[in-house]
Structure 1
């Protein structure tokens, strides 16, 4: 059966429904597909689609999110490719669109993420499972927001995603929305992912500096170099997956963020 769907960039695709040969180009969306109950339908994924590990090990890797192996993708003959505007390269996606149905997400907020879960659930014939995930996510993040207010968490934060040069998660990002829900105000006013040096960051006087585990793998050794320049801020390592993966990992993120809030009291 053929069905048409419109993605979040306004593109309409026709697919054989339900799709039987899916390639996912985004780690958080790959994990979502498996958590929706798909298994053998996912025939390809990226080398960064590491969850769940037992599924990752048994699947063909089609490159990185920004450096896809187009010929390998062709050889897998997908009947659906799922990507994301921010995580994948436009030129490669457009090349794939010429040959295959490609459905793209475009996510900036928790509400966008829940909408995406709903739409991907419809796309792969797993709407009840998607609704249940969204129920858990909605309830969990509502509780987080309520607790942040009750606990009086009202701190300024800088969220670092890269080193050499230092880059921050700014406004108009999914990370910024998650921070806000948890009572944290981003000191970065620019949109997206601006570069910054430590002296400029010090001048913003953040209460907290979060060093993300991804995409740059910040470690303990990096805490000291930032504390030396910005001694008045509390510098912490945080799990980047819990702030930036916008699929089913949001269910796990709730408990992680509960614990983080406690640490900030």
Structure 2
């Protein structure tokens, strides 16, 4: 009997190592693959785009916010991997009737390393987990040396339009912005008013904002438009730029700023290229 605790503090007991995995989080699907668990993964979401061939070799069980319970049951999983932010409480609770649901909660870089270590124990892949932990730590230290002499810049990181929404504080995106010496002008943005009731469940971490108030809020040097989850276009860049004094608008790879797991190793190299472009 193995007893392990997930990042929400839920204790799980396993008689044997889980062999049939369903992953409901794209970045965690990629991590599981990179840890050598391809054969054990039986179900993924439609947003699990890495590795590319999974969309034709694995069963799609829905999205991150809506899943097909019958499909999941039919796969007879030993464990379902979810995330506090990506998946709803309702989904997690309903799936617990099928098998254990392991929930991650990633805000900091240390949370990310803890998740990798946990997966190593959970799936008996400790050596692989340690390899990715070492790779991540090495790439992080290398990037810290690279960024050391860079001047801080004020930024606004947009994730959605109609209504406009940004990454606020207490998010993994915000942690990576800080690592890049990007000072998020919405780090402490309050969530209040009718317009923001729709995102109240995110605890103000992804607030709706009034773009006409950007100058008052902090007048960013950079407006970053993420490639996901919203497909920003040039017209958005033009509109947002008009509401700052001098900001440069930059389209950025959302996966690099929001995906945790093994993706982080690639992200640090991407951040170097981004910094050099700026």
Distance 1:219 1:123 in 2: 42
Partner of 2:50: 51
CA distance in 1, matches of 2:39, 2:153: 45
Does the CA-based 8 Å contact 1:144-1:258 persist in structure 2? yes
- What TM-score, normalized by structure 1, do the two folds share? 0.95
Quick check: 2:223–2:241 contact (8 Å CA) kept in 1? Answer: no
Structure 1 gaps of 5+ residues are none
Structure 2, unaligned runs of 5 or more: 190-203
2:154 to 128, 153, 156: 156
Scaled by the length of structure 2, what TM-score is found? Answer: 0.91
Runs ≥4 in structure 1, deviation > 6 angstroms?
Answer: none
Distance 2:215 2:4 in 1: 47
Shift of 1:87: 0.4
Aligned-CA RMSD value: 1.3
Which residue is 1:251 aligned to?
Answer: 265
SS in 1 for 2:38: coil
Deviation, 1:139, is 1.4
The 5 Å alignment of 1:198-213 reads 198-203=211-216, 204-213=218-227
- 1:80-121 deviation line (CA, Å, top 9, x unaligned): 111000100101101111331111001101111111111112
For 1:83, the equivalent position in structure 2 comes to 82
Paired with 1:231 and 1:74, the residues of 2 have a C-alpha distance of 54
1:111 paired residue number: 110
Deviations 1:154-209 (A, max 9, x none): 11111001111111101100000001111111111225111102111232200111
State how 1:1-265 maps to structure 2 within 5 Å. 2-150=1-149, 152-188=150-186, 189-190=188-189, 191-203=204-216, 204-230=218-244, 232-264=246-278
Cα offset, 1:16, TM superposition: 4.4
Q: What is the rounded CA distance, in whole Å, between the counterparts of 1:141 and 1:207 in structure 2?
A: 25
